[in-house]
Amino acid sequence: MHDLGEPVNQTFRVDLRGIVDLLSHHLYTSPQVYARELLQNAVDAITALRQDGAADPRTPRIEISSGDANGDGSLTIGDNGIGLSETQVHELLATIGRSSKRDDLGFARHEFMGQFGIGLLSCFMVSDAIEVTTRRAGEPTVLWRGRADGSYAVEPAPADGQRAETGTTVTLRPRPGCEHLLTRRAVTALVSHYGARLPHPVTVDGEPVTGGPAPWDRPDGEGAAERRARLEAYCEEVFGFAPFDVVDVATAEAGLRGVAFVLPMPANPAVPAAHRVYLKQMLLSEGAERLLPEWAFFVRCVVDTAELRPTASREALYEDSLLEATRDALGDQLRGWLVRLSKQEPARLRAFLRVHHLGVKALALHDDDMLRLVADFWPMETNVGPLTLAEFTDRYGLLRFTPLLDEFRQLAPVAAAQGLAVVNAGYVYDAELIDRFATVERKSEVEQLRAADLTTHLQRLETADELALAPFMAVADRVLARLGCDLLVRSFEPSGLPSLYLLDDDTAFQLDLRGTRDQVDDTWSAILGSFQAAAEPRPRLVLNHRNPLARQVLSLTDPELQATCLEGLYVQALLLGHHPLRPADTAALNQSFLGLIGRAVSGAAQ
C-alpha cells in the first residue's frame, strides 16, 4: 500500500458512456445535432486543405448517403478535404477535447467552425459505433472504429475501402430507437436546416440541399426592390411576420453581416428577443439572445459571423468582450436607422413609434440623439391634447407635468380650466424623459404639479363669504373627520364640477402606512411607525363655490341634511378621480344615497 504522505501523480480515468450521456442530456439539446457536427467537420476539412497551401483543382463537395439509400439503415458522409494521417487519427479522434484545428497543426483557428474536439462524440447519441475512413495526401487510407464503451481500433483500410483522393468518410449505424434519424427524410431536413447556406455543395442521396442567396448576400444583378422582396419573403417564412422595415447590419471586428427585421406589431420587452445566428454560414442557433441591446426588443435578426465564439454545445454565443462590442455596434446601427428615418421619412417614424415607443424611450434615457427624436416625434398625453415635448415647450414655455396617471386624471380638467397645461408623465419612462429633457435642453423649465399644489391655483373666496360659511365648516369638519379628509371651499372652473378630491402620492403613502399599522402586530407596527410623518397629512375635498349645487349645499342649515349631502359630494369626487373606495367610503355612499332617497320620499308624502 502506498504511503499517503507521498504525492503520486496519476491521470483521470474517463467513462466514455458517462461522457456520452452527459453530452446527450446536458450539453446538446437534441441528438439531431449529430448532423450539424458531421457537416462542421467536413467543412473544416475542406477549409484545412485550402489553408494547407497545396493547389487543388477539385471542386469542394460534401456527399451524404442516408439509411434509405444505403439499404442497411447506415448513414455515410464524405468530403474531399485534407484528411488525416494515422498519427493524427490516434492523436485527434481518440482524444476527447483535442481539436484538429489547433494552432500546433499550423492552421489559424478562426478559419474553422470547431474548437472543442468533442463534436464527433455527438454521433454516439444516434449510433453505438463510428467508422472513419480517411486519407491525407501522401499517406495510406486509414480506418478508425470507435465504440460507445470507450474503445477504438485503428488499421489500414481494406481494399474495398481505399480512397483514391484525400478526404474523409464517416459511417454511422443507428442504435435501436434512432433509425428514424438516419432516414432520407430526416437527414435531408436536418442538413437543409443547418447547412443550407454553406458555401460548398452538399448533397443528400444525390440531391443538392445548398444553394440560393443567403439573407446577407447581395447577388450581382439583383436590384434593391428585388432584394427587398426576397428578404420580406424570407422574414415571413422564418419569423412569421411581414417586417415593418429591413435594416442591413454589419461589424468588421466580428466578421458579422446580416439583416435586422423590424417587427410590425408590439413586442413584450420582458421576453428576450431571439435571433437566428450562423457561424461561418452554418446555423448556430435559432434562438440566440443578447445579440442586440435590451432596448432593441422590436427587432429580429439573421446574421452570419466569422469571429464570435460559440459555446461548447455550439447552440449559443459565448459572452465575452467581442460579443459586448458587437452588441454595442449593432445598437448604434439601429439607432442610426431611426435617425435617418426621422430626417427622411418622418411619417414612417411616427408610425414606428406608435408601435415601438417603449424601446426608443428606453434608449432615450441615456442617448441624446434618441431623446431629441422622442421629443420631436412622440406625442405625449396632455390636458390640452396630444403634443410632443418640443411642441409643448414651444407653445407654453413651462413644462408642467404630473408623474402619476391617477393624479393626472383628477387634475387634468380642473388645471385646463384654470389655463394650466399639464403633461401626463404617468406612463413608463415619461417622467424620467422629461427630467432628462430639461437637463439636456437647458432652455426648458420644468415644474412638477401635484394634487396638493393645485389648490394654490384655485381662487380663494372673499372674506365675507368665508365668514358666512363658518357654521357649515364646523359641521363639515365633524363629518369629514370620520372619513380622514379636510374641507376647502374655492372658486374655480369648470363651474359644472361641484367637488374635487385631491390626494397626492405622499399623502396616499401615509394613509396606506397608517392602515397597515392597524392590521399588524406590535413589532411590525413599530417598524412601520419609523416611516410615518410627524404631521399627519390628509387628503382634501374641495367644494366649488361657482357650482350652483355646491352653493346650495353650502347654504343648508339642517345639520343632518348637510352631512348627507356632504357625504354624497365626497363619494362622487372619489369616483370621478378613479380612487378606490374603502369600507368607510362605501358606508358613506350607502348612507348618503339612502338618506337622500328617504328625504325625497318624505317630502313627496307630505
**552 by DSSP, 3-state: which?**
helix
How many other CB atoms sit within 10 Å of the CB of residue 3?
6
Asked whether the predicted pLDDT for residue 290 surpasses 50, the reply is yes
- Per-residue pLDDT band at 530 (split at 50, 70, 90): low
Q: Which backbone phi and psi does 80 adopt, to 5 degrees? A: -110, 45
Asked whether the predicted pLDDT for residue 56 surpasses 90, the reply is no
Q: What is the pLDDT of residues 129-157, one digit of tens each?
A: 999 999 999 899 999 998 887 788 999 99
Q: How much is the pLDDT for 419?
A: 87
* C-alpha–C-alpha distance, residues 492 and 417, integer Å: 8
Q: How much is the pLDDT for 248?
A: 96
Q: What is the pLDDT of residues 240-251, one digit of tens each?
A: 999 999 999 999
Q: How much is the pLDDT for 95?
A: 66
* C-alpha–C-alpha distance, residues 187 and 66, integer Å: 7
Q: At what angle do helices 33-51 and 184-195 cross, to 10 degrees?
A: 60
- Per-residue pLDDT band at 62 (split at 50, 70, 90): very high
Asked whether the predicted pLDDT for residue 431 surpasses 90, the reply is yes
Q: How much is the pLDDT for 576?
A: 82
Question: How long a stretch of residues is the chain?
Answer: 606
Q: What is the pLDDT of residues 69-122, one digit of tens each?
A: 998 999 999 999 999 999 888 887 766 655 544 443 434 444 444 443 467 778
Q: Are strands 540-544 and 398-402 parallel, antiparallel or unpaired?
A: unpaired
**516 by DSSP, 3-state: which?**
helix
Domains along the chain with CATH numbers? 16-208 (3.30.565.10), 224-344 (3.30.230.80), 379-457 (3.40.50), 459-503+539-605 (1.20.120.790)
Q: How much is the pLDDT for 605?
A: 60
Asked whether the predicted pLDDT for residue 2 surpasses 70, the reply is no
Q: How much is the pLDDT for 161?
A: 84
The burial of 190, by beta-carbon neighbours within 10 Å (0-12 exposed, 13-18 middle, 19 or more buried), is given as: buried
Q: At what angle do helices 368-377 and 346-364 cross, to 10 degrees?
A: 130
* C-alpha–C-alpha distance, residues 32 and 18, integer Å: 19
Asked whether the predicted pLDDT for residue 305 surpasses 90, the reply is yes
Q: Which residue has the higher pLDDT, 465 or 227?
A: 227
State the average pLDDT for the chain: 85
Q: Which backbone phi and psi does 34 adopt, to 5 degrees? A: -55, -40
Which residues contact residue 501 at a Cβ distance below 8 angstroms, ignoring those fewer than 6 apart? 410, 485, 539, 540, 541, 542, 570, 573, 574, 576, 577, 579
What's 104's DSSP letter? Answer: G
Cα→Cα distances 431→286, 329, 367, 402, 493, Å: 37, 28, 16, 8, 27
Asked whether the predicted pLDDT for residue 567 surpasses 80, the reply is yes
Asked whether the predicted pLDDT for residue 28 surpasses 60, the reply is yes
Average confidence (pLDDT) over 588-603:
84
Average confidence (pLDDT) over 255-275:
91
Q: ∠ at Cα 540 (539, 542), nearest 5°?
A: 160
Q: What is the pLDDT of residues 122-131, one digit of tens each?
A: 888 899 899 9
CB 438 within 8 A of CB 399: yes
**526 by DSSP, 3-state: which?**
helix
Q: How much is the pLDDT for 109?
A: 43
Q: Which backbone phi and psi does 77 adopt, to 5 degrees? A: -135, 125
